[in-house]
Amino acid sequence: MNTATKNYATITAGYWAFTLTDGAIRMLVVLYFHILGYSPLEVAMLFLFYEFFGIVTNLVGGWLGAKLGLNVTMHIGMALQIIALLMLTVSDSMLSVAYVMLAQALSGIAKDLNKMSAKSGVKSLVKTAKDDPKLFKWVAVLTGSKNALKGVGFFLGAFLLDLMGFRNALLVLAAGLSLVLITTYVLLPRELGKAKNKPKFNQILSQSRQINWLSAARFFLFGARDIWFVVALPVFLYEKLGWSFSQVGSFIALWIIAYGIVQALTPILLRQHQPTAKSASLLALVLALVPAGIALSLMQSWPPSITIIIGLMIFGVIFAINSAVHSYLILAYADHDKVAMNVGFYYMANAGGRLTGTVLSGLVYQQAGIVACLWVSSVFVLVAMGLSLSLSKINIHQKLPIIKR
């Protein structure tokens, strides 16, 4: 195994382990605080700082990654996640809204530092050349496998909550991630991702038109998912359909696992053709029809369990392909020496979309129910489609990266 492949494997393994804890802690918080009597909007607000600080982290974290190295920012993220997990092990009397929001803020910083570092690290292992689509495959595998593992994390969180309770589950997750932190810190090179020319702080905002438009499209794409996914769906399944915690966790886990598998297989599904902004626009148009179709079916009193399961599986397949296309485009557009900053700016928009979707998930569900969440989701996807059209005249194949050998 050559050095580039070894580093890619180490980055991917660390990303997998972190993602398990990220999915588990989200499911633990949603279900446990619903048990404690929190309303859907209050549960959504617990994630407010998680998403808000994700925006800040991606913006500043890209600059830090370019300045200090991606190895450093990745492991700062892991350490903060361990602290966030341990903070939630206190007694119920101490779990005030403000305290949990603070713990989730650390978790949000941790997650986006880790994601920015991992995805930027892949770009740092490639060099520019023409007409080679290998970057698409590597990015799809990293992103898809991560999302599949996040699905396992959702299941793990619900399973551990049933098996050993809230606090013991958190302790197990913290111990496992501590071992991973030590291992990956030893294996990864210290200079990974450092910019040759140290970037100035005032350069953190993107000056690239294509990255700006792609980031705006990402905002609405992921906002569209989280409007129904973060709070509305688990509460609807538990409260309205009478599912158990394990059933809720298992369904969401299977959805994310399938979503991740489709992401990883996207290069094959697209027959190895390198995607363009037109690909993203077309996929968004098709995607927008799905939540609208689910909403109409529920309004016609179709069986809700079957409608939700089938409809959201279709949504997941199309969304996964669209997300994989986006993940490739940002790395293809990114400048090698500023990759961490470009990716950080892009995922800042991603975090902003998740923040908006999270708040709307609790607010819209509490005021109008799951059908309204689905309609708003459809509108968001249509906006993402319109923004993607602005990129269609840019020739992405003028500068294609390949893996260093």
Query: 330 with 58: CB under 8 angstroms?
Result: no
Q: Does domain 3-194+203-392 have CATH number 1.20.1250.20?
A: yes
241 DSSP 8-state letter: S
Provide the token pair at 113: 């530092």
**Residue 403 backbone phi and psi in degrees, to 5:** -75, 135
What pLDDT is recorded for position 286? 95
**Strand 126-129 to strand 400-403: parallel, antiparallel, or no bridges (unpaired)?**
antiparallel
What pLDDT is recorded for position 129? 39
What pLDDT is recorded for position 128? 47
Give the helix ranges, DSSP H, for 1-69.
3-35, 40-46, 48-68
What pLDDT is recorded for position 403? 32
* Domain map (residue ranges) of the chain: 3-194+203-392
Nearest C-alpha neighbor of 12 from the set 148, 164, 207, 160: 148
CA 399 to chain centre: 26
Q: How far apart are CA 220 and CA 197, in angstroms?
A: 33
Alpha-carbon separation of residue 55 from 12, 90, 371 (angstroms): 23, 27, 28
202 DSSP 8-state letter: G
Nearest C-alpha neighbor of 245 from the set 159, 164, 312, 310: 159
Q: How far apart are CA 320 and CA 143, in angstroms?
A: 10
What pLDDT is recorded for position 298? 93
What pLDDT is recorded for position 196? 59
For every residue of 79-147, which 3-state class applies, written as one string? HHHHHHHHHCCCCHHHCCHHHHHHHHHHHHHHHHHHHHHHHHHHHHCEEEECCCCHHHHHHHHHHHHHH
Kindly give the confidence (pLDDT) of every residue in the chain, 405 residues in length, as a single tens digit, with 9 standing for 90 and above: 567 677 777 887 888 889 889 889 888 888 888 788 888 778 878 888 887 887 788 777 767 777 777 778 888 999 999 999 999 999 888 888 889 889 989 998 898 888 777 767 666 665 543 444 566 676 777 777 777 787 788 888 888 888 888 999 999 999 999 999 998 888 877 666 555 555 555 555 555 778 888 888 999 999 999 998 888 898 899 888 888 877 887 888 788 888 888 888 888 887 756 777 788 889 999 999 999 999 999 999 999 989 988 998 899 999 999 988 888 888 777 665 566 677 777 878 888 898 899 889 989 998 999 999 999 999 999 999 998 887 765 554 444 333 332
